[in-house]
């Protein structure tokens, strides 16, 4: 079975540019999560969707960050304008939500470097 697919795997861009990260969740999963991982702060939840609807975006750092889930098989995380402090590894995870208390399954991340 295909896991969570993220693209691109690596992104290097200059400060001020727009960055778009993409995620395809596992088919049939109805919850999707975006995380950011840094050495200092570990894994931090940015936003999560349930049935394509944003449920909790309290982890989004500021208005420069936005996320969308136009359908059950695709989500984007956009940073505009990007800043050097946004450099991190961004992970997408999906889960079969609901009462069954399932684990989240992660993609292999996008390593973002803002110069």
Partner 1 sequence: EDQVTQSPEALRLQEGESSSLNCSYTVSGLRGLFWYRQDPGKGPEFLFTLYSAGEEKEKERLKATLTKKESFLHITAPKPEDSATYLCAVRQTGANNLFFGTGTRLTVIP
Nearest approach, Cβ of residue 86 and partner 1 (Å): 19
**C-alpha radius of gyration, the chain, whole number:** 13
Q: Which CB atom, from 45 or from 80, has the smaller least distance to partner 1? A: 45
CA 19 from centre of chain: 12
d(C-alpha 47, C-alpha 30), whole Å: 14
- Torsion on CA atoms 42, 17, 9, 57, rounded to nearest 10: 50
| Contact flag: residue 87 with partner 1 (CB under 8 A) | no
| Contact flag: residue 105 with partner 1 (CB under 8 A) | yes
Q: Which CB atom, from 16 or from 61, has the smaller least distance to partner 1? A: 61
Footprint of partner 1 (CB under 8 A) = 4, 31, 33, 41-45, 48, 50, 55-56, 91, 93, 95, 97, 101, 103-109
């Amino acid at each position: 079975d295909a896991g969570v697919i993220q693209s691109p795997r690596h992104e290097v861009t200059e400060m001020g540019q727009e960055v778009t990260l993409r995620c395809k969740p596992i088919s049939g999963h109805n919850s999707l999560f975006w995380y950011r991982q840094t050495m200092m702060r570990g894994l931090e939840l940015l936003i999560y969707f349930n049935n394509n609807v944003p449920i909790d975006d309290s982890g989004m750092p500021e208005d420069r960050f936005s996320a969308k889930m136009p359908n059950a098989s695709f989500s984007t995380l956009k940073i505009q304008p990007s800043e050097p402090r946004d450099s991190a590894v961004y992970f997408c995870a999906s889960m079969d939500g609901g009462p069954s208390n399932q684990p989240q399954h992660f993609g292999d991340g996008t390593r973002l470097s803002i110069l």
